[in-house]
Structure 1
Amino acid sequence: MNSRTLPSYLVLFAFVAFFSCSQKAEQKAEAPESREASQTETTQKTILFFGNSLTAAYGIDPEDGFAGLTQSRIDSLGLDYKVINGGLSGETTAGGLSRLDWFLEDEPAIFILELGGNDGLRGIQISETKNNLLAIVDKVRSKYPDTKIILAGMQIPPNMGQEYSKEFSELYPAVAKEKNVTLIPFLLDRVGGIPELNLPDGIHPTEEGHKIVAETIWPFIEAEL
């Protein structure tokens, strides 16, 4: 190395050193914002709707279903809650029990259980449906004792016989009482059996029907926020 080339190396070294220090300074400046964003994500509470095609908003845009409408209302009120839609078309209480663990990786502040309708339509024994609902509640409570649980009551048409329909409607109050959880007496109140508020299948609500369901469930959710 001769004296003529030395200044060039010094300049290059100084540039690299300055650039490296600048990057570190930027990273340090960004770190508080990153930590702040991370803290915001972790402090946001979750409302989990766990159900079948009714929760999944079968036949319409999920954002127009009662779970999606609940998120819209929460956002409009500036509440720090995130709604998770755990609805699956065709789901039974047995199926829900088997897939529940996957949804319980993170703690829900509020857990809305909407299952059993497909059990009733298939004529599954009331005792089996009840045991599955009890087991779902137990599993949520054993993992997250502070989670507020809301049970959405259902009714079915008398296709399976009057006695079965009656026992089915009594199932939800019995589970709610036994496990001391909040009960929505009938999820489809003012919607079920009204043709203009349901899709052609007569089972799944239209967008207008979901708006009414969202209004039915909101007071129960609001009381737990």
Structure 2
Amino acid sequence: MNISRTILSFCLISLGLASFSCSESKKAETVQTASADQPGAQEPEMKTILFFGNSLTAGYGIDQDDSFSGLVQDKIDSLGLNYRVINGGLSGETTAGGLSRLDWFLEDQPEIFILELGGNDGLRGIQLSETKSNLEKIIDKVKGKFPGTKIILAGMQIPPNMGQEYTDEFKEIYPVVAQEKDVTLIPFLLEGVAGDPELNLPDGIHPTEEGHKIVYKTVWPFIESNL
């Protein structure tokens, strides 16, 4: 009888230890599974710098990587900054065309928005009030959707093909819009490049690779101060 009780007790103890061991094993397995399912430390989301313009932004006639926007990306990469550059340039684009396609580029928030439009308006003699209104509407749309986006307006000048009065009034659109809309102004995007045959393609309008390097040097300080 005593032997039977001893055997029974031993079996119960063994069973308890086995159950405890199994339970602990399951707990450990559960912890490991939970740890495996838990995502690791994620990298911070990359911020966007959006250049929105015409053929000057697009890098007409040269490799896009050699355009001033491409050179901005190179600089950012060299500094190890968490930004990506989007080139939203389209050859022949007017302010009206830019306004109509803007929504396509505002799916995600740009940290910095560089507006480079109006040159084609001036070359076509479009009414100045329309150009000014479209620039303002583009800025308003960006601000309305993304109030935190920093906006930079690239000033432009045109040759006096449409008469000196038109040319002078066109030039003044940009500082007026920048002041009224409280955005950063690049006084003249093509400073040091416009009118120089050595820095422009045969059309006399679009910069060469060397010309884009100068444009980049003009643009970069304004971007850097907003990073």
Q: TM-score, normalised by structure 1?
A: 0.84
Match of 1:32 in 2: 39
- Alignment partners' CA distance in 2, 1:26 and 1:176: 56
Unaligned runs of 5+ in 2: 1-31
DSSP 3-state at the match of 2:50:
strand
DSSP 3-state at the match of 1:32:
coil
Match of 2:94 in 1: 92
Unaligned runs of 5+ in 1: 1-24
Q: TM-score, normalised by structure 2?
A: 0.83
- Alignment partners' CA distance in 2, 1:30 and 1:79: 30
Alignment of 1:1-225 (within 5 A): 29=36, 32=39, 36=42, 39-40=43-44, 43-225=45-227
RMSD value over aligned CA atoms?
1.7
- Alignment partners' CA distance in 1, 2:52 and 2:200: 21
Deviations 1:118-151 (A, max 9, x none): 0000000000000000000000000000100000
- Alignment partners' CA distance in 2, 1:122 and 1:55: 19
Instruction: Tell me by how many angstroms 1:44 deviates.
Output: 1.0
- Alignment partners' CA distance in 1, 2:35 and 2:78: 35
- Alignment partners' CA distance in 2, 1:83 and 1:31: 32
DSSP 3-state at the match of 1:202:
coil
- Alignment partners' CA distance in 1, 2:66 and 2:33: 43
Whichever of the two has the greater Rg, that structure is 2
Give percent identity, aligned residues only.
Answer: 74
- Alignment partners' CA distance in 2, 1:30 and 1:155: 58
Instruction: Tell me by how many angstroms 1:204 deviates.
Output: 0.3
DSSP 3-state at the match of 2:221:
helix
- Alignment partners' CA distance in 1, 2:62 and 2:34: 45
Instruction: Tell me by how many angstroms 1:32 deviates.
Output: 2.9
2:132 partner amino acid: K
- Alignment partners' CA distance in 2, 1:31 and 1:113: 42
1:170 partner amino acid: E
